[in-house]
Amino acid sequence: MERQINHEIPETFSNDPRENLRMENDLLKLKLQAESDAFIESGDDVPPEVENVFLQNVMAFEESSKDVKMISLYDFLGRPEYKPIDTLKPEQIEPELSKLIQMLQHKEVVLDVLDNYEPSAIYRFITEELFLQETYENLLPGMIRHFSYEEFHPNHKLDIRERTMDFLGDWFERKMDDTSWELATEFILPDASKIKREEVVKKFKTIFACYSAFINCQYVIGDISFEWNQANDSGLGYSEGAVKFDAVLESGETVRIEGPFKLYFSNQSGWWSIFYFVFPGFTWQDEQHEQEQK
């Protein structure tokens, strides 16, 4: 006999309105996971009222999109006239690109371009790739169509730079933890031994516990480089630069820390992550190991 699942949300769970809302949110998450394979996880700092509005919007979107027709973006835009890039003179490309961007914005289509590229590259992308992308014929009020050039044409140097900035930001704010996704799940040390991310996070927290704050933080990112293996769709890369900052002790005294850094990255599944690094103020050896070495 096929089991019937009741997805109705009871009106109340407890006498505490906020607790009642949290439990309702949990049921909404379970419903989304069961019906749409959508796994939603939110932090403890998200108010249940805000989370509930978000979940209700997701539910409404899932319901409305079940029977929605898919069309090409070009059809959605009304099949606008445009000039093939091969017919344009170099000085015509930028003005024609501006017309396309304005047309997209008028139709509430957002195209993010995160780096600087030749106007011809973006014009060609819009007319030869983006126009062919399928999209919902209709969206819920308030929703927009959002695309990113780098999703179609990965910019590995830009990605490595962003992961580097994530690392520097987490270090300066002393908040490196399990949600620091710039860190790989496994680190490889110079002696070929391996260590899990959880252990690396513990090392960070041990170091951070020695200070009350990092202030006067400065950094410069120098070289960023990578090698990409097209056959395996994977890559290795690094970023290097220098940092200097004042580490504030519990006594209020400060210790100046500065020097070069180098972060080593790997990309195995479309995401650059750090699997080893050299950084001022961080040591891979614990105190016990250092004493044994002496």
List all residues 6 or more positions away from 135 whose beta carbon is below 8 Å from its beta carbon.
70, 71, 72, 73, 76, 145
Q: Sorting pLDDT into bands at 50, 70 and 90, what band is 137?
A: confident
pLDDT at 1 over 60: no
Q: Sorting pLDDT into bands at 50, 70 and 90, what band is 69?
A: confident
Which DSSP helix (H) or strand (E) runs through 236? strand 234-248
Express each pLDDT in 138-185 by its tens digit.
776 777 899 999 999 999 999 999 999 999 999 999 999 988 999 999
> What was the pLDDT predicted at 291?
39
Q: Taking a C-beta distance cutoff of 8 angstroms, is the pair 16, 24 a contact?
A: no
> What was the pLDDT predicted at 7?
46
pLDDT at 222 over 80: yes
pLDDT at 12 over 60: no
Average of per-residue pLDDT across 104-118 = 95
pTM of the model: 0.71
The percentage of the chain sitting over the pLDDT mark of 70, rounded to a whole number, equals 85
Mean pLDDT of the chain: 87
Express each pLDDT in 85-105 by its tens digit.
999 999 999 999 999 999 999
Among residues 40, 64, 62, the alpha carbon closest in space to that of 52 is found at 40
Architecture of domain 156-287: Roll (3.10)
Q: Taking a C-beta distance cutoff of 8 angstroms, is the pair 153, 228 a contact?
A: no
Q: Taking a C-beta distance cutoff of 8 angstroms, is the pair 14, 23 a contact?
A: yes
pLDDT at 61 over 70: no
Domain limits, the chain: 17-64, 70-152, 156-287
Say which range, 52-66, 224-238, 243-257, has the weakest mean pLDDT: 52-66
> What was the pLDDT predicted at 4?
44
Q: Sorting pLDDT into bands at 50, 70 and 90, what band is 38?
A: low
pLDDT at 47 over 60: yes
> What was the pLDDT predicted at 14?
58
pLDDT at 287 over 60: no
Say which range, 75-79, 92-96, 276-280, 283-287, has the weakest mean pLDDT: 283-287
Distance, CA of 43 to CA of 247 (rounded, Å):
29
